[in-house]
Amino acid sequence: MAVSARSFQNWRTAAAPGESNADLCRRTGIKRSTLGQQIVRGKVSEDTVVRVARAYGKNPVEALSDFEEYSDLLGGPWRPSAAELLSQVSYICILQMILHRSQPTDRQDYPDLVRFPHANAIRSWFEAVDPGDLRQRLSAATGVAPQNISAQLLAGRLAPELAVEAARLAGVSLTGGLVATGLITSDEAGWPQDGQLAALRALSDSELVFLARDRLDGVGKQIRKFEHDQENELLLLENLG
């Protein structure tokens, strides 16, 4: 979706009064050509809005809510559910928590949840909030075909407008999808500090093991697909001689 270039120009004038496009690009690290192209096309990306907001000391969520496309961000739910928090924990950290519980109970060196990147964060979030028909409902609401939504999730991405609309339809934190996509941080979204760790600690031993099983099953399928694709590429190269 992105936001209207006209609205962006009005917003950036208020957010950074007296700053030229060149000043803005120096502060944000955005290429002048990139910003110029977005303005000429009439659509400015959400990432540009977020980077400008950060550069000038404004909360990105508040900044996005200044635009019509995201005007309900501040008025909607903010607190993430336990399922959303757990969806943003990598399988490595889940396994570390299992190992931690096998040690003496007075140990306090819990896993560092930000140390390891979570390659499946977007898809995990979507599945965590999906009541079973979210792809179909999201498609009906946005006009994006279900297979295109699935393709984005499989590729580890989801357009910001789709992430927010999915949250609206699922009745969960409107900023959760933006956190999962990496557009904003959990702190910027108002998530509780150590919320993910608290959600992990609240799981019983069996729940923790089953969560690890499900995550590893997903990782295993991805690895098998990768290996299969590599084998097909090698066969193709061999056939080509």
Q: What is the DSSP string of 39-75?
A: HHHTEE-HHHHHHHHHHTT--HHHHHHTSGGGTTTTT
For residues 183 and 47, the answer to whether their CB atoms sit within 8 Å is: yes
pLDDT, mean of residues 64-92? 89
Q: Give the separation between CA 198 and CA 196, rounded to whole angstroms.
A: 5
pLDDT, mean of residues 206-214? 93
More confident residue, 156 or 64: 64
Q: Residue 164 pairs with which residues in a beta bridge?
A: none
Residue 27 has pLDDT above 90, yes or no: yes
Q: What is the pLDDT of residue 230?
A: 82
Three-state DSSP at 43 gives strand
Mean of per-residue pLDDT scores for the chain: 89
Q: What is the DSSP string of 149-168?
A: HHHHHHTT---HHHHHHHHH
For residues 121 and 89, the answer to whether their CB atoms sit within 8 Å is: no
Share of the chain above pLDDT 70, in %: 94
Q: What is the pLDDT of residue 105?
A: 62
More confident residue, 94 or 233: 94
Q: Give the separation between CA 31 and CA 126, rounded to whole angstroms.
A: 32
pLDDT digit string, tens, across residues 160-201:
999 999 999 999 999 999 999 999 999 999 888 888 889 999
Q: Residue 4 pairs with which residues in a beta bridge?
A: 43
Confidence of residue 114 (pLDDT cuts 50, 70, 90): low
Domains in the chain, start-ordered, CATH in brackets? Answer: 3-70 (1.10.260), 82-201 (no CATH)
Question: Which amino acid makes up residue 103?
Answer: Q
pTM listed for this prediction:
0.84
pLDDT, mean of residues 58-69? 94
